[in-house]
Amino acid sequence: MGETNEESVNGQPQPAPEKKTRKRRSSAEKMAAMQKDISVGEFFHKNRHLLGFDSARKALLMTVKEAVDNSLDACEEAGILPDIWVNIVNTGSGRCRVAIQDNGPGIVKKQVPKIFGKLLYGSKFHRLRMSRGQQGIGISAAGMYGMLTTGKPVKVVSKTSKGRPAHYFEIQINTKLNTPEILNEDGNGIDIPNGEVGQAVLQDHEIEWEPVSHGTRVTIEMEAQYHRGRGSVDEYLEQTAIANPHAQIKYLPPDGREVFYHRASEVLPPEAEEIKPHPYGIELGTLIYMLKHSKSMQLTSFLSEAFSRVSPNVAKEIVTEANVRINANTKKIGREEADAIYQAIQRTKISAPNTDCISAIGEDQLLKGLHHVVPAEFYVAVTRPPAVYRGNPFQIEAALAYGGTPPVRKVSLDGLEEMLSETESRTLRQFLTTNFDGIGTSGANNIIEAAELKVRTSPSKMKPRERKRLHEAMQGINLSASQSCNVYRYANRVPLLFQPGACAVTQAVMQLNWRTYGLSQSRGSMPNGPITLMVHLASVWVPFTSESKEAIASYPEILKELRLALQGVGRKLGMYLRRRQKVKHQGERRQIFKRYLGEVAQAVHSLNGCDREDLFSQLLQVAKDQTAEADMQFDESGQVVEEPEMDLGENVLIVKSERDD
């Protein structure tokens, strides 16, 4: 960080200063007076964008996301089927109050302040175990954002079991010291006993609490703006519901709606196991740190104890390869030897890490989740076997939903009017593309044209008649060909809503040739069609491209697994589409024949006076025979074979549409 003034702003070296009269601007001594600890809190204060709290729009989402992720993590760790409440209230002048509650294990009284009032404090950082959170910044960062923008503390209620009292804290973070300060009751918080007494306490202090026997509720007031569409809380919760069919979410947004995601599955994901790091995944710095902090012991035993897949034999191999004494002690290992060991590890053949530690969502649950939230006619899911990148086990899953009504056609006129009045988009086209998935610019243009409106019309200034026309055009639009695919990305079951372009998932989707599977796609871009694709990466350590956890890094091993998973769902989709095409074709043929038969019968009747009805029904019979014949399949020897039921395997779900011919 620019310590000296000579460092140029944009990183380009400045011309050497002229010698003669130039006065020194500063000195090492003067500068030393200014050099001091930067508190994490202060750092965050200035760099909140790094954590995703960079705008009033995004802050709301980030807060809900951090809290919900924590709730789901806690519930799963404690083996509880999660119930989650999300409540957003507009408190006026650009502020919102957000409350998130769960029925998780709760947090013991003395931990609460640190968890919500200290950055970089958590249970997940130091272990290698699959979980949503990993850094220990999440929820306290949200609390700090609230405090910085409104001056209000974070309010936490937590209860650990039926018999114990709940406790209530109002916590503020001291940004200089990165320590929590409890504001209520002289720094002691309040205990809320069970029963009626407790009820009275809740009422007295205006504490909101859904009655559960254990759980945690966090409430944060912040500068924030509620909106819908892309990158919104609504979107995040919807996608969360897809990837977590075992969770139930009750959501009350500030616009008075009640959104309720039922539990689609009663099965908790299997417990993720903690593992020791694999040597291939370790960095030199970490290795040195581990050596320094380990007990005094033989190097070989250290290696086989601290790492997975390192047997005493493998440990010996590494040490020999590194040219270090075989019975060296960890305390005697210097930097150079550590480096030699690090190099040796890379050259030694070590078996891949145990992958049991990963709990994938699973094909069955994926289908359930997707079907529950995304209406479509065809679903397919593929869970790949676990693989390893840089010593970290990971697993890729992909699920695809095809068909169904696109979101533009689902919105009601009331809903649309509300969205129009709230939107920040300056033009109608922008409004459509940002609020409705899968329509793209061309789809938006078509809608606007059909509604006889102008692309540049300001959404907020539309007349009632124009809004009605827009709604009609949206209902009538046929997008199936031009519609572009929706991609939902997940890391450890957490939806990733931002930076799709930087993400390995997006890259893999665009690199795959979807035309093979019967979709249209221009080279190197998203496939087109009424498709929702969800891709999940589960890993003990998700390689994000930045701290804000928005995009997955493109390791070759990850890209390869992504490709294989996408091919898996693509192949099934292709089979389905081909079959559907055929059925549709037959149906259409019959339909076309049928539609002309009336005309033909009438005309023939007027030519030779035959019985119109008789002729019509005879022709209809011929039409049926003709198309039935065409429907049949022939095997290689030319024999007619019975059309087999479409059996695409276990990982596929086909929903019969109501208007089947």
Partner 1 sequence: MIKSQWLSTSSDKHEENLTLHLKENTVANESKKDPSAETEAEAKHRERDEKTNELLMSLADQLVKAAERKRNPTLEIPIRTQANVNYNKSRKIIELGKNKSQRQLFNLSQAKSFMQMILVASGCKKLIDQNKTTSIRGLYYMLKHTIEGTKEETFAKQSECDPMIEDVEVTLNALREELHVYAQSRGTMVGPITIVDSGDEIDCSRMGTGGYGIPSIVEDDIVQFKECDAKFVLHVEKDTVWRRFNEDKFWKEHNCILTHGSGQPPRGVRRLLCRLNSELNLPVYCLLDNDPWGYYIYSVIKQGSINLAYESQRMAIPEAKFIGLRARDFDRCGLSDSVKINLNDTDRRRAEQIKQYPWFSGKKRWIKEIDTLLANGFKLEVEALISLDVSYVTETYVPEILEAGPRQWLD
Ligand X SMILES: Nc1ncnc2c1ncn2[C@@H]1O[C@H](COP(=O)(O)OP(=O)(O)OP(=O)(O)O)[C@@H](O)[C@H]1O
Which residues in this chain contact ligand X in the complex, by CB under 6 A? 66, 70-71, 74, 102, 104-105, 107, 115, 122-124, 133-140, 216
CA distances to 366, 412, 457 from 469, in Å: 38, 13, 13
Count Cβ atoms below 10 Å from residue 12 Cβ, excluding itself: 7
CB closer to partner 1 out of 390 and 612: 612
Q: 74 touches which of ligand X, partner 1, Mg ion, none (CB within 5 to 8 A by kind)?
A: ligand X
319 within 8 A of 341, measured Cβ to Cβ: yes
Which residues in the 573-632 window bind partner 1 by CB under 8 A? 589, 592-593, 595-596, 598-600, 602-604, 606-608, 610, 615, 618-619, 621-623, 625-627
Q: Binding partner of residue 391 among Mg ion, partner 1, ligand X, none, CB under 5 to 8 Å per kind?
A: none
Q: Is 70 in the site for Mg ion (CB under 5 A)?
A: yes
Q: What Å distances lie between residue 286 and 277, 289, 342, CA to CA?
A: 11, 5, 10
> What Rg, from alpha-carbon coordinates, does the chain have?
31
d(CA 282, CA 276): 11
What is the DSSP-derived secondary structure letter of residue 137?
Answer: -
| Partner from ligand X, Mg ion, partner 1, none contacting 604, C-beta within 5 to 8 A by type | partner 1
Residue nearer to ligand X on the CB measure, 497 or 519? 497
Of residues 115 and 531, the one with the C-beta less far from ligand X: 115
Closest CB to partner 1 among residues 329, 626 = 626
CB atoms within 10 A of CB 183: 16
Helix pair angle (413-422, 428-435), 10° resolution: 110
CB of 88 to partner 1, least distance (A): 47
Identify which of residues 51 and 303 has a Cβ nearer to Mg ion in the complex.
Answer: 51
CB of 602 to partner 1, least distance (A): 8
Q: Which one of ligand X, Mg ion, partner 1, none interacts with residue 593, CB within 5 to 8 A by kind?
A: partner 1
CB of 630 to partner 1, least distance (A): 9
Spatial separation of the C-alpha atoms in residues 101 and 70, rounded to whole Å: 10
Q: How far is the CB of 371 from ligand X (least distance, A)?
A: 28
- Report the partner that residue 621 touches, choosing among partner 1, ligand X, Mg ion, none (CB closer than 5 to 8 A by kind): partner 1
CB of 216 to ligand X, least distance (A): 4
The one among 52, 104, 113, 138 contacting Mg ion by CB under 5 A: 138
- Judged by CB under 5 A, which stretch of 8-16, 127-135, 287-295, 395-403 contacts Mg ion? 127-135
Contact of residue 285 among ligand X, partner 1, Mg ion, none (CB under 5-8 Å per partner type) = none
The binder of 599, among partner 1, ligand X, Mg ion, none, by C-beta within 5 to 8 A per type, is partner 1
Stretch that binds Mg ion, among 128-136, 255-263, 514-522, 554-562 (CB under 5 A): 128-136
> Closest separation between CB of residue 149 and partner 1, Å?
57
- Residue number with CB closer to partner 1 (108 or 603): 603
**Helices 504-511 and 556-608 sit at what angle, rounded to 10 degrees?**
50
CA distance 232 to 62: 9
Secondary element (H or E) of residue 641: strand 640-641
Complex with ligand X: residue 72 or 473, whichever CB lies closer:
72
As measured in angstroms, the least distance from the Cβ of 450 to partner 1 is 17
Binders of Mg ion: how many residues, by CB under 5 A? 3
Strand partners, 378: 402, 654
Phi and psi at 304, nearest 5°, equal -75, -20
Adjacent-strand bridge partners of 634:
640
Report the nearest approach of ligand X to the CB of residue 490 (Å). Answer: 15
- Minimum CB distance to partner 1, residue 446 (Å): 19
**Closest residue to ligand X using C-beta atoms:** 133
Nearest-approach distance from CB 43 to ligand X, in angstroms: 15
At closest approach, how far in Å is the CB of 306 from ligand X? 22
Residue 115 touches which member of Mg ion, partner 1, ligand X, none, C-beta under 5-8 Å by kind: ligand X
- Find the helix or strand (DSSP H, E) in which 561 lies: helix 556-608
* CB neighbours of residue 212 within 10 Å: 18
Pick 70 or 239: Cβ nearer Mg ion: 70
Choose the one of Mg ion, ligand X, partner 1, none that binds residue 353, judging by a C-beta under 5 to 8 angstroms depending on kind. Answer: none
Number of residues that bind partner 1 (CB under 8 A): 24
Instruction: At 602, list the tokens.
Output: 């009438």
Cα–Cα dist 449/607, whole Å: 46
Range in contact with Mg ion (rule: CB under 5 A) among 46-54, 129-137, 426-434, 632-640? 129-137
Q: If DSSP codes are grouped into helix, strand and coil, which group holds residue 608?
A: helix
Nearer of residues 31 and 630 to partner 1, judged by Cβ:
630
**Cβ proximity to partner 1, 603 vs 640, nearer residue:** 603
Q: Are 131 and 274 in contact (CB under 8 A)?
A: no
| 143 or 229: CB nearest ligand X | 143
Instruction: Look at residue 73 and give its three-state secondary structure.
Output: helix
Q: Which residues contact 551 (CB under 8 A, 6 or more apart)?
A: 496, 498, 499, 500, 502, 503, 504, 544, 545
478 scored as a contact of partner 1 (CB under 8 A)? no
528 versus 627: smaller Cβ distance to partner 1: 627
User: Strand pairing partners for 40?
Assistant: none
Q: Please tell me the distance from the alpha carbon of residue 38 to that of residue 53, in angstroms, as a whole number.
A: 20
Strand, helix or coil for residue 169 = strand
Vertex 561: Cα angle to 559 and 563 (nearest 5): 70
| Nearest approach, Cβ of residue 201 and ligand X (Å) | 21
Residue 600 CB, shortest distance to partner 1, in Å, is: 5
> 348 or 627, CB closer to partner 1?
627
Give the span between the Cα atoms of 345 and 469, in whole angstroms. Answer: 67
134 binds, among ligand X, Mg ion, partner 1, none (CB under 5 to 8 A by kind): ligand X
d(CA 318, CA 338): 11
Spatial contact of 245 and 262, defined as CB atoms under 8 Å apart = no
Using CB distances below 5 to 8 A depending on partner kind, what does residue 608 bind out of partner 1, Mg ion, ligand X, none?
partner 1
Apex 549 CA angle, 544 and 552, nearest 5: 35
In the complex, minimum distance from the CB of residue 50 to ligand X, in angstroms, rounded to a whole number: 12
Helix (H, G, I), strand (E, B) or coil at 239: helix
Phi, psi for residue 96 in degrees, rounded to 5: -135, 150
Q: Which of 52, 105, 133, 406 binds Mg ion (CB under 5 A)?
A: 133
Q: Which is nearer to Mg ion, 344 or 494 (CB)?
A: 494
Q: How far is the CB of 353 from Mg ion (least distance, A)?
A: 25
SS3 string, 434-483, reads: HHCCCCHHHHHHHHHHHCCCCCCCCHHHCCHHHHHHHHHHHHHCCCCCCC
**Element housing 285 (H / E):** helix 284-293
DSSP letter at 110 equals T
Contact residues for Mg ion, defined by CB under 5 A: 70, 133, 138
Contact residues for partner 1, defined by CB under 8 A: 589, 592-593, 595-596, 598-600, 602-604, 606-608, 610, 615, 618-619, 621-623, 625-627
